[in-house]
Amino acid sequence: MEDSNWTVGRVARRCGVKVSTLHFYEKKGLIRSWRNAGNQRRYKADVLRRISVIKAAQKMGISLEEIRRALATLPDNRTPTAGDWAALSANWRDDLDARIAYLERLRDLLTGCIGCGCLSMKNCPIYNENDKLAREGDGPVILERGAPR
Ligand code: FES
């Protein structure tokens, strides 16, 4: 089978996603297909890496819109090189570092509180005396400090 002649079913099987997921990704502008003479969708082989990146990025909490913008930096007219992929991942580096820092802070905050429930005025890092945090906004103010947008 040619490099640029992957059927939607083959891509779906190889990537472990549903055909409907591929259609969704395509509708969102994350991947692109071309049509053969029989008007059937075909994909170039680099779609496999794009889908892997999409899945990994989603697991890291990166929005589909951010993923779309990142993938849009890859060249359309040729298969992306290792350098193209490296540039894409470098752009996510700061964002990932911020997410990791937030999750570490959240882990540290919650480690003592999961299963505790004491809300000790002296010791609990999430204690909110007289709901004074309501002035800062709705939701879990302490836990969302430093959360990625
Ligand atoms: S709930 Fe007990 S330390 Fe936070």
What's the whole-model pTM score? 0.70
Q: State the virtual CA torsion across 140, 141, 145, 148 in degrees, nearest 10.
A: 50
**In terms of pLDDT, which residue wins out, 72 or 1?**
72
What are the tokens at 73? Answer: 């930096």
SS3 content of the chain, % helix, strand, coil (to 5): 55, 5, 40
Residue 116 CA, closest ligand 1 atom number: 2
Report the C-alpha gap between 8 and 3 in whole angstroms.
Answer: 13
Main-chain dihedrals φ then ψ at residue 41, nearest 5 degrees: -65, 135
For the chain, give the mean pLDDT. 86
- pLDDT tens, 27-57? 999 999 999 999 999 999 989 989 998 998 8
The residue whose CA has the least distance to atom 3 of ligand 1 is 124
- CATH numbers and ranges of domains, the chain: 1-80 (1.10.1660.10), 93-149 (no CATH)
β-strand pairing of 34-35 with 41-42: antiparallel
> How confident is residue 149, by pLDDT bands cut at 50, 70 and 90?
low
* Ligand 1 pocket, residue 118 CB under 6 Å: yes
Q: From the CA of 138, how far away is ligand 1's center (Å)?
A: 21
Closest ligand 1 atom, CA of 118? 2
**Number of residues written out for the chain:** 149
Q: Is 119 in the pocket of ligand 1 (CB under 6 A)?
A: yes
